[in-house]
Every structure is written in structure tokens, then in C-alpha cells.
Structure 1
Amino acid sequence: MTISERPMPQLEGAAHRYVTVRGVRLHLAEFGSGEPVVLLHGFPQHWYAWRRVVPLLAADHRLICVDLRGFGWSEQSRTGYDTDSLAADVLALLDELGLEQTTLAAHNWGAGVGFRVCQRAPERVRAFLALNMAHPWTRHRDVLPNLWRMWFTAFVEYPLLGRLVLRHWPAFTRFLLRHGAADPAVVWSEAELTEFTEATRFSAHAGQSLFWSYVVRDIPAGFRGTHRSTRLTVPTRVLGGELDPVIPPALLRGEAYADDLTVRIVPGAGHQLPEEQPELVAEELRKLIASH
């Protein structure tokens, strides 16, 4: 069975289609009509990560849930999983959809891509809601004491090992999903864990490449201060979980090179805000759109 042959989870109101950008066919799940909002998922997930947020917004927004290159039902490629390339995919997608400007909401790794989209083409983004991800200007003295939280990446990032782990060790993916939530028993159903675990098996190459690209490109750029020369002008709201074991509140503070960036820490929440606090995410997105 290939990625495209996997049964797709059902969500009421979904209109599925494929758009080819930069030589890769991307899958989109669209809902509703009105103000366009592009939603980018994190790892190890796909468009279905927004299943609890979508019903709260679809009545008066056009929601475009994107499967990033190589994930979900989007086509895999040999290369192109670095943050710059994934951001270029998103911008090319906006061109194909005829969207001169959109609101952007993103979680986890998708939020890292979202920050890069805002840096590269701020005129294309009306406002940005970033969930469970540090901004590109996090202070070194905050990052270094928290590096231990990324211990699990050692099992994913190396080219051969990472693909084997993601493809043949489903318990590892299930652990990542459960580990991120403040209360896994409340957040996840067995069917949801199975869906994302199976999807990760099929996107093992993309998952490993995503982490490896971050190691060889983004981490060195961060320590060189590359992004400090690019000021963020897009109005941006960052939400983090008080109990997030991966991106704790300490990684969200500090001086940001931004004109309009605010951070809110959600009490009692972990690393899976779209699942743990969908009502709050929808409320923040509505407020962000209304104020800009």
C-alpha cells in the first residue's frame, strides 16, 4: 500500500483535493468559506491534527488544512524537507490557490515553517498563530539548559536509523504523541493514536529528513544568529503549554525581533494544544483575525 492508497480519516464537511507545487503534489483538506486560514500540522501528524479546531471555525472561515511535503497524503520527494523549502512550498501553494494574503495557524514543526513564511513574505500573511513552537530569536541561555528535552530526536534524525524507527517501531511514535500531552488519557483515543502512528510509518523518509535538515541547517543558523537580521513584521500570537515537555515556557520568552508578537502560556496544557485546548485555539484565532 502506498501513501495515496491509505484510507483517509473522515471529518464532516471536508473537501479533499491535490495541488502540485514545486514539482510535488500536496494534499489539502478544505472546510467552510469566508476568511481564508491556512493550517499547518506538526510532527508526527497530518491535516487531521486540526479535527477538533475545524468544527469551531468552519461556519465563517475558509480553512485550508495542508499536508506538508511527504506527510499525510502529500507526495514524498527525495529532498526538500528543510524549513526554507517547506516554506517555499507554502508560498507556492498560496500562488496556486490565488490567495494574495491569508491568516496562518500552525503547530509544532508546522509553526517553524510558519515563522519562515512570515519572514520571507510578510505581505502574504495577515496574522500568524503559532502553537507550541519557539520563535527564531530564542536566547541561547534559554535553549542550552533545555536541550535535554530533545533526547528523542536521536532516534529519528539519522538517515538510516530514523527511517527504520519510524517505519518499524510504532510504539515510539505512540510514545511521542502521548508524551506531548499533559493528560494522554483525555487527549487521545486509541483510533487517533493508530491513525497518526500508521501515517508516520508511510512518511518515515519525510519525518527523518525533516529532523536531519533541522540539525544540519537550522541549528547552526540559530547559533550564528542568522535570523536576527530579519525582523518579524507580521502580527503574531504564540501559545504555549505550561506543562509542555518539549517546548517549555522558558523557550518562549526573551527578546523577539518582532513588531507585534505576544506570548500566552496556557495553564495545565502540554504540547498538543489543537487537541488539548481546541476551543482556546479557535478563540485566539478569531481574536487575532478580528484585530488585524
Structure 2
Amino acid sequence: MVQFSSINSLSLTDEKTWMWRGFPIAYQSYGETGPAVVLVHGFGASWRHWRKNIPFLGQNCRCYALDLIGFGGSAKPSPKQDIDYTFETWGQQVADFCQEVAGSPAFLVGNSIGGVVVMQAAVSYPQWVLGVAVLNCSLRLLHERKQATLSWYRRVGAAFAQRILANQGIGSLFFQQIAKPRTVRRILLQAYHRSEAVTDELIDILLKPAQDEGAVAVFLAFIAYSQGPLPEDLLPILPCPTIFLWGTEDPWENIELAREWANYPNVEQFIPLEGVGHCPQDEAPELVNPILQEWILRHGS
């Protein structure tokens, strides 16, 4: 069995490239036999956020992790002019990856906004999705329908912040202020319950793509994105087996708001992960990996 100490065997520098719609997309893979599984990161992250999971799952699966267009090592084309950064776009990207790279339907695993992406892919392209596993799904609290349920001062504050950041100059300055090691570390220490998981390597993984041309525009486009699907829209029409894993100490995506999702008939399990924050796959791989492996192999067989 692959031990967690062996994750260093997965090179973080030797990534692969797939051309999608004429744009280079970065990805990594591990394993040559078994069912296909595709890992999808959250906002501002990359395939490297799954560096502790890919070798483990690759023992019994053909495991892939890709960078959504606009993030990580993938191209960052201009919003609106070259591409729309929406869940429909990312859902199509993931489905096309299953077809063109994995070469078969796959199990999809997503963290944060990646959870919405994999659900969108399953709904729009069910022929390429065998099952969906979601880790601390984004509740999309900035969505226009969610904002309508907020208290008036929070609603006004959210709308004001979005309008201010829509200004290119102000938005760029804001991005420059947060794209610094000290700020990223502070944000991660809020998101991660286990502070020892916030390493220099992790900060480098998140910061390096922020220096790419186009990164600021992608960031601002997503901040302004208040439309598209909510998880509650996709869950009732998911055509495949689904499980949720949720770090109980997530300060951004409250587990209590999501527990009712366990009542949907296609949700097989809703598994709380005690003492874990927003990114369980990176913070507690020893908890997440065996759960995902068992679920994938049970359905994949």
C-alpha cells in the first residue's frame, strides 16, 4: 500500500499538458489500471492541491487531476473576450477531459467550487460521469439568490464590495495585496484547522500561478460571478451516486447549512470529518483517501 511518506515520488514540476479549445491545460496523472477518477480543485488552487491524494488513489485507479482553465498552470484567457468563466464552461472542460484524456467515463471528486464544477459536469454530461464525491462544497453565498436571503446590511455590504472590486484599478490593487506570502498564510490558517498543514510548499503552490498574465482578470471575473447554478439546483437532478465529505471546522462553508443535502435520494453518504477545515484532501489525506478509494472501488467494480 502507498504510504503518505511516498507522496514525494509524485513530481510537482513534471506536469502534463492537454490542449482544450486551443488553450493549454495543465494536469497530472498516476496509475495505469482500474476505473478513472478526476480530481478538481477549488478557487485559486491547482492540481497540486491533490498531491497527497493522487499516488494513493493511483494504486487502484487511473487517477487524474487537472487545472481548471484560468487557474494553476492552465491558460488564463481574457474573461468575456476569449472565454466565460462559468460552471458550465468548467463542467464542459471536465467532461471533455474524461473523453479525450481519460478515454472513459470517470468518477469526479471536487473541493470547494470544484464541487459545483463536478456536479455541473455530471448533470450536463452524464455519459462521462460514474459518480461524484464532493469535499466541502462551495455554498456560493455571493450568488444573487443567496444574497437576497441575507440581512440587509450584509446584502448591501456584499453588493458594494463586488461593485468596488469590479473597478479594474481597485481590483488589481486588492489582488496585489492578497497575493503575498504573509497574507496567503493568514488566509490558510483561517481555512485550515490543522495549522501544521499550512506549509511553505502549499503557499508556493497557491502563489506561483497568481504571477501569471491574466490571473488578476480571472480573479476579478469570478468575484463578480453571482449567477449560475447553486448546489441545491444541481443536487436533485444528479444522475449518479454521490457522497459528501465535510470538514467540521470549515469557517467558510458551514456544515450545518449543508447537512440537509444528505436527504437527497442520490446522496449515499454525508460524512463529517471532525477537526478538519475547508480543504480536507490536503489537511487530512489519511482520512479522505481511504474513504474515496473504498467508494470508487465499490462502484467501479
TM-score by length of 1: 0.80
Secondary structure of 1:63's counterpart equals: strand
Kindly report the root-mean-square deviation, in angstroms, between the aligned alpha carbons of the 2 structures: 3.2
What does residue 179 of structure 1 align with?
A: 190
The CA deviation at 1:133 is 0.5
Change (3 A) 1:190 1:16: closer
2:91 is matched with which residue: 87, 91, 108? 87
The CA deviation at 1:222 is 4.4
What amino acid maps onto 2:21 in structure 1? Answer: R
Q: Is the 8 A contact 2:48 2:205 kept in 1?
A: no
Q: Is the 8 A contact 1:232 1:258 kept in 2?
A: no
- Residues 113-262 of structure 1 aligned to structure 2 (within 5 Å): 113-134=117-138, 144=150, 154=161, 158=166, 160=168, 161-169=170-178, 170=180, 171-184=182-195, 186-202=196-212, 203-213=215-225, 215=226, 217-218=227-228, 222=230, 227=233, 231-254=237-260, 257-262=264-269
1:281 is matched with which residue: 288, 297, 300? 288
The CA deviation at 1:258 is 4.7
Change (3 A) 1:198 1:93: same
What amino acid maps onto 2:253 in structure 1? Answer: I
Distance 1:189 1:228 in 2: 35
Change (3 A) 1:23 1:284: same
What does residue 59 of structure 2 align with?
A: 59
User: How many corresponding residue pairs?
Assistant: 270
Change (3 A) 1:57 1:173: same
Matching of residue 16 in structure 1 with residue 25 in structure 2:
no
What amino acid maps onto 1:29 in structure 2? Answer: Q
Secondary structure of 2:73's counterpart equals: coil
Secondary structure of 2:91's counterpart equals: helix
What does residue 99 of structure 1 align with?
A: 103
Q: CA offsets, 1:227-280, max 9 Å, x none?
A: 269611211111111111011112212255552342111111111201121122
Change (3 A) 1:98 1:51: closer
Larger mean Cα displacement after TM superposition, 161-170 or 270-279: 161-170
1:112 is matched with which residue: 116, 135, 141? 116
What does residue 24 of structure 2 align with?
A: 25
Change (3 A) 1:207 1:124: same
After superposing on structure 2, the runs of 4+ consecutive aligned residues of structure 1 that deviate more than 6 Å are none
Percent sequence identity over aligned pairs: 22
What does residue 268 of structure 1 align with?
A: 275
Secondary structure of 1:29's counterpart equals: strand
Q: Is the 8 A contact 1:231 1:258 kept in 2?
A: no
Unaligned runs of 5+ in 2: 1-6
Distance 2:185 2:171 in 1: 15
Secondary structure of 2:115's counterpart equals: helix
